[in-house]
Amino acid sequence: MNIIVCVKQVPASATVAINRDTHTMIREENNSMINPFDLYALEEAVRHKETHGGKITAISMGIPQTEDLLREVVAIGADHAVLLSDIAFAGADTLATAYTLASGIQKINVYDLIICGRQSTDGDTAQVGPSLAEKLGISHVTCVSKIDEISKDCIRCHRLVEDGYEVIEMRLPGLITVVKEINEPRLPSLFGLRRAAKAEIPVWSAADINIDLKLCGISGSPTYVIDTFTPDYHVENEILIGSPEEQAKTAVEKLSEILYTVGAF
């Protein structure tokens, strides 16, 4: 079984706390990390390999420094890692990203299953997985919370839905995106770290993956951000002052009025 795991470098700052007094980030040494959801994808691949054998290739599209994170991915258990990096890929939206990843995966060529995290913590769209499957012409299942079994040409897994879960069978090759309920990701082992230090991580440019420049990066992205803003909600609000008891008393008096006006009872 050949498994491809897609990973993304995301800013660690998105999850780092803000110091409320100075309004600065409480920063750790590294300010980028592997998208946490992708670690579940990697873990699931590693677990499968441990019990059934096979090969895991990690792939990422990103800036050259992503190579360091791909080394971490190798340390955790991927056999190989490939980085797609080219100025032409910058500014890609989900469609252009899916196209670029698909071109890279087509170069890897041999695969049975692709595993992605459900979404990234920075973009948060959850669109690249299904979009990539479409570009490769394979099926997909999103929000996978459990894999029952993987045979040579079929996977049976659980998809988390609003009111429970579905048991789905998909013929391979196929793509799944996983949710964090699926496993508990491991940390790299010492052996893994040593192996990763020596691992060769090829960096493929646009020319290497034979890509149409009009379809990747900013030129291949149909969507544009035209504005960003901090919303002004214009809520007429009242902030209470006083001891907890005084505030509670006023709040509950208000609450009775509100319950009446909004008709909660």
Partner 1 sequence: MTRLRINLEKCVACLECIDLCPCNAIQYDQTAVYIDQSCTLCGLCFSKCRFDAIHYKEVLPEKPSTENKMNTAGHKGIMIFGEQREGQLQEVVRELLGEGKRLAVQLDTTVSVVLLGMHTDALAKELFAFGADRIFQIDHPLLDYFNDELYADMIVQVVRQYTPEIFLVGATTYGKSLAPRIASRLDTGLTADCTRLEIDAEKRLLKQTRPAFGGNLMATIICPIHRPQMCTVCPKIMLPIEPDFEKTGQVIKPNIVFSKGIKTKIVEHIKLKSNHANLSDAEIIVSAGRGIQKLQNLELIRALADCLGAAVGASRALVDSGWIAYSHQIGQTGISVRPKIYFACGISGAMQHLAGMMSAKYIIAINKDPDASIFKVAHLGLVGNIEQIVPALINEIKSHYHY
**160 scored as a contact of partner 1 (CB under 8 A):** yes
- Give the per-residue contact string, 116-155, with partner 1 (x = CB under 8 A; - = no): ---x-xx-xxxxxxxxxxxx--xxxxxx------------
Among 187, 197, 207, 255, binds partner 1 (CB under 8 A): 255
CA proximity to 97, closest of 121, 72, 130, 66 = 130
Distance CA 132, CA 140 (A): 9
Of 197 and 218, the one with the shorter C-beta distance to partner 1 is 218
Stretch binding partner 1 (CB under 8 A), from 41-49, 185-193, 202-210, 256-264:
256-264
Among 53, 163, 191, 198, binds partner 1 (CB under 8 A): 163
Of 43 and 192, the one with the shorter C-beta distance to partner 1 is 43
Of 88 and 192, the one with the shorter C-beta distance to partner 1 is 88
Distance CA 140, CA 129 (A): 8
Ranges within 57-96 binding partner 1 (CB under 8 A): 62-65, 87, 90-91, 93-95
- Least spacing, CB of residue 14 vs partner 1, in Å: 4
Residue 87 DSSP code: G
**29 scored as a contact of partner 1 (CB under 8 A):** no
Say if residue 173 is preceded by a cis peptide, omega within 30 of 0.
yes
C-alpha count within 13 angstroms, C-beta hemisphere, residue 247: 7
Phi, psi of 60 (to 5 degrees): -145, 150
Phi, psi of 159 (to 5 degrees): -110, 125
- Least spacing, CB of residue 245 vs partner 1, in Å: 5
Residue 136 to residues 53, 102, 171, 244, 260: CA-CA distances in angstroms? Answer: 25, 6, 14, 59, 56
> Which one-letter amino acid corresponds to residue 125?
T
Stretch binding partner 1 (CB under 8 A), from 39-47, 49-57, 197-205, 257-265:
257-265
Query: Which residue is listed with tokens 């897609």?
Result: 6
- Least spacing, CB of residue 236 vs partner 1, in Å: 7
Among 51, 109, 152, 245, binds partner 1 (CB under 8 A): 245
